Amino acid sequence: MKLTVIGFWGGYPKKNGASSGYLLEHDGFQLLIDCGSGVLSKLQNIIQPEELDAVLISHYHPDHIADIGVLQHARLIQGFLGERPATLPIYGHCFDDVEYSKLTYKDITKGIAYNPDEVLTVGPFRVSFLKTDHPVPCYAMRFEVEGKSFVYTADGSYNEDLIEFSKGADILLCECNFFGHQNGKAAGHMNSLEAGQFAHLAAVNQLILTHLPQYGELTELLREASTEFTGIIKLADEFLTISI
């Protein structure tokens, strides 16, 4: 697997940035995980929108879905300009009827509801889900292929269920929207100390902090998390690429 960070800001993108969006690739299959504001602009530095094979959505807050409509129009326009792309499957939960219905657009994209109680197969990936503690229904995801594993927490406050769900993952892409002295529980987010503790207890190989705040000295997040987790820690950054 190859993971590339497209956008990593929480809530809204910082100047010239993008909110949540991650490209996961294996054996030529290209999966976009979440599609927040600015993601389509940034994505085109790596691949074109018509080259995506599937999209997987954790939840329907704007910083995770704002560019779905943009993606749909990009593939529509490319169809007018040349060979029409195949209908793109967009996987999302169906616990918000209004937002789920928007995943289907003409014959350009097709919304497909995943059952969070079952393992989903998308291309080469086997995906398991865990409901997070967030103000709206949101699902963490564990991707497995050929003995390797990658966990994306999506959005959610510290939850002990995540520890077993993430056990031994090669990569933990963990939300970290607050600094260590802040309490993110009411907002449904983790702070840096919680992210580090979570990574330690789950015994993951590498921790990547994402969904970052737009203020403060971000390297402080690394320092704080490292007091709890002694393994490799990185801050998500635009086009950061990691082979798993």
Q: Mind listing the pLDDT tens digit for each residue in 20-74?
A: 999 999 999 999 999 999 999 999 999 999 999 999 999 999 999 999 999 999 9
Q: How confident is the model at residue 82 (pLDDT cuts 50, 70, 90)?
A: confident
Residue 124 sits at φ, ψ, to 5 deg, of: -85, -5
Beta strand 21-26 pairing with 241-243: unpaired
In terms of Cα–Cα distance, which of 4, 54, 5 is closest to 31? 54
Q: How confident is the model at residue 15 (pLDDT cuts 50, 70, 90)?
A: very high
Per the structure block, which two tokens stand in for 228?
A: 């709890």
Task: Give the per-residue pLDDT at 83.
Answer: 83
| pLDDT tens figures, 148-199 | 999 999 999 999 999 999 999 999 999 999 999 999 999 999 999 999 999 9
Q: Which residues pair with 31 in a beta bridge?
A: 24, 54
Task: Give the per-residue pLDDT at 61.
Answer: 98
Q: How confident is the model at residue 86 (pLDDT cuts 50, 70, 90)?
A: very high
- Is residue 243's pLDDT more than 90? yes
Q: What three-state secondary structure class fits 240?
A: coil
Based on the structure, what is the number of domains in the chain? 1
Q: Whole-prediction pTM value?
A: 0.97
Give the distance, in angstroms, between the CA of residue 212 and the centroid of all CA atoms in the same chain.
13
Task: Give the per-residue pLDDT at 182.
Answer: 98
- Cβ neighbour number for residue 82 with a 10 Å cutoff: 8
Beta strand 139-145 pairing with 125-131: antiparallel
Rounded to an integer, what distance in angstroms lies between the CA atom of residue 140 and that of residue 121?
15
| pLDDT tens figures, 192-216 | 999 999 999 999 999 999 999 999 9
Task: Give the per-residue pLDDT at 151.
Answer: 98
Domain range enclosing 208: 2-243
In terms of Cα–Cα distance, which of 210, 211, 201 is closest to 231? 201
Task: Give the per-residue pLDDT at 20.
Answer: 98
- Is residue 139's pLDDT more than 90? yes
Stretch 111-117: mean pLDDT, rounded?
A: 98
Q: What's the CATH code of the domain at 206?
A: 3.60.15.10
The average confidence (pLDDT) of the chain is 97
Q: What three-state secondary structure class fits 77?
A: helix
